[in-house]
Amino acid sequence: MEQQHEAGSNEGIPEGAPAPDVHAADEGEMTMEALLAQQSATVEKLAEHKVAWVKVIAVTRDAVLVDVGEKNEGSIPLVEFVEDLESPKAPAPTAGQRVPVIKVGSRGGRPSLSHRKAKAELGWELIAKAHADKQRVRGTVSSSVKGGFLVDVQGVQAFLPASLADLRPVRDPKKMVGTGVRCYVIEVNQAKRQLVLSRRAVLEEEAGKRRTRLLDDLRGGEVRIGRIARVSAEGLLVDIGGAEGLVRPQDMAWGKPDPKEFERGQKLKVKVLRKPEKEGEPLQLGIKQLQANPADALKKRFPPKSTVSGKIIEVGAHGVRFQVDPKTVAFVPAAECDTDIVYKPGEVARAIVLGVDFSTFELRASTLRFAEIHDRKRVAQYMKAPPPLTLGQLLSPEKEAE
């Protein structure tokens, strides 16, 4: 959040409005007719309780004395300058400086003026123009109230609903008090002097600009550091510094992902899988794509046609599952089971590797093919021709027989 600081010399001047003449020497360059016209205009504005810019003559302990024309002085409470809600550390005005005032009464023949109310009037002009032109306004959060916050905008009190104060619910409203905010004016009730602001609209607009810039710079396959903004059944919403991307469950981890491994606010690396091609499409990110696929390691350790064995851990109509080593399981589908074997948990099974199941990271194996291969080997051994007789066996068969 940004803190607002107003310049003391132009305090209360609407943004974009020309600053008044603040140099006393400038009046010496005016003609007598122009000076009298200016004083006359000031007198008329004050009489009609309109905002007038007047020159500070002196500053006393309790008041600021100003020239109101026709050799008259007006008085403004000093507290309206040094304890201004908008600028808590604003200095007192100095002689020669021009300030906006409005007449609120008279005391002892001297008009009583208000700088704060003049600023509020100018603030209303600024706010009305900002609302009409759909421009932002700056203000300071003065207090937290039920349902939102009160914001001082150029001396005008406005209401900022809690739902429009941030992109996400404000967890600690007290932390916003005293901070500067930029908002859009979404409702103006001149008769009741009521304003409704939206800071969220500004934040969404800024976030949209950052997202556009970031997406323009992103490249497929790029690795970014992000922070988890939300964990849900649809996946992880990860903020990568200006744009949010979705990590689908199937892209969280190899095998079955465990949502408990992820939590909001967690920092992690993600890979850009696919950029949005049109409005409304999500930016797709991946986590498992930055890790080695366990199936690739299994294929290297257990190539097809290799032999594996292990204790049976599961027997069912779908097939047999046995433990090859502490981290590796082999599954024999029912169609690949040797029907001459009675499978029981705890007994040893031997099988031929058929491949790797990329969804479960288990070996696919066959006890049937293992038996067929070993049967063929036995038959081949049995059918092997006897070795030819040696010369000694031919000449002395009886001796060889002994």
Do the beta carbons of residue 13 and residue 119 sit within 8 Å?
no
Centre a 10 Å sphere on the Cβ of residue 104 and count the other Cβ atoms it contains. Answer: 14
Strand 52-59 and strand 98-107: the pairing is: antiparallel
What percent of the chain clears pLDDT 90, i.e. is strictly above it?
A: 37
Give the model's pLDDT for residue 213.
Answer: 87
pLDDT surpassing 90 at residue 121: no
| pLDDT band for position 71 (cuts 50, 70, 90) | confident
Give the model's pLDDT for residue 303.
Answer: 94
Mean pLDDT calculated for residue range 133-140: 91
Question: What does the pLDDT look like over 275-311, one tens digit per residue?
Answer: 888 777 889 999 999 988 888 889 999 999 999 999 9
Give the model's pLDDT for residue 365.
Answer: 96
Give the model's pLDDT for residue 246.
Answer: 93
Comparison of pLDDT for 121 and 384, the residue scoring more:
121
Give the model's pLDDT for residue 24.
Answer: 37
Question: What does the pLDDT look like over 152-210, one tens digit per residue?
Answer: 888 788 999 999 999 888 889 999 999 999 999 999 887 787 889 999 999 999 988 88
| pLDDT band for position 39 (cuts 50, 70, 90) | low
Domain residues of the chain, as ranges?
8-119, 134-203, 219-290, 295-383
pLDDT surpassing 80 at residue 108: no
Average pLDDT, rounded, for the chain: 82
Q: Is the dihedral of CA 155, 157, 163, 164 positive or negative?
A: negative
State how far the Cα of 52 lies from the Cα of 48, in Å rounded to an integer: 10
Give the model's pLDDT for residue 74.
Answer: 81
Give the model's pLDDT for residue 376.
Answer: 74
- Which CATH code fits 219-290? 2.40.50.140
Report the chain's C-alpha Rg in angstroms. 43
Mean pLDDT calculated for residue range 365-375: 89
Whose structure tokens read 């550091």? 225
Q: Is 370 exposed, middle or buried (0-12, 13-18, 19+ CB in 10 A)?
A: buried
Do the beta carbons of residue 310 and residue 348 sit within 8 Å?
yes
pLDDT surpassing 70 at residue 140: yes
CATH number for the 295-383 domain, one of 2.120.10.10, 3.40.50.2300, 3.40.47.10, 2.40.50.140?
2.40.50.140
Give the model's pLDDT for residue 304.
Answer: 93
Give the model's pLDDT for residue 78.
Answer: 86
CB within 8 A of 266, min separation 6: which ones? 227, 228
Give the model's pLDDT for residue 200.
Answer: 95
Strand 72-77 and strand 136-145: the pairing is: unpaired
Give the model's pLDDT for residue 33.
Answer: 58
State how far the Cα of 160 lies from the Cα of 158, in Å rounded to an integer: 7
Whose structure tokens read 């010399």? 9
Range scoring the smallest mean pLDDT among 124-128, 323-327, 387-391:
387-391
What distance, in Å, lies between the first and last C-alpha atoms of the chain? 107
Question: What does the pLDDT look like over 225-236, one tens digit per residue?
Answer: 999 998 988 889
Give the model's pLDDT for residue 385.
Answer: 61
> Fold match between 134-203 and 219-290?
yes
Sequence-distant contacts of 158-164: CB under 8 A, at least 24 apart: 158/127, 158/183, 158/185, 158/195, 158/196, 158/197, 159/194, 159/195, 159/196, 159/197, 160/196, 160/197, 160/198, 160/199, 161/196, 161/198, 163/200, 164/197, 164/198, 164/199, 164/200, 164/201
Question: What does the pLDDT look like over 307-353, one tens digit per residue?
Answer: 999 999 999 999 999 999 998 999 999 999 999 899 999 999 999 99
Q: What is the CATH superfamily name and number for domain 8-119? A: Nucleic acid-binding proteins (2.40.50.140)
State how far the Cα of 281 lies from the Cα of 118, in Å rounded to an integer: 50
Range scoring the smallest mean pLDDT among 19-23, 202-206, 387-391:
19-23
Tell me the two tokens of residue 325: 């080593």
Tell me the two tokens of residue 71: 């050799």
- CA of 335: how far to CAs of 145, 152, 332, 339, in Å? 71, 78, 8, 9
Q: What is the CATH superfamily name and number for domain 134-203? A: Nucleic acid-binding proteins (2.40.50.140)
Give the model's pLDDT for residue 82.
Answer: 77
Mean pLDDT calculated for residue range 126-135: 88
Q: Which residues pair with 195 in a beta bridge?
A: 188
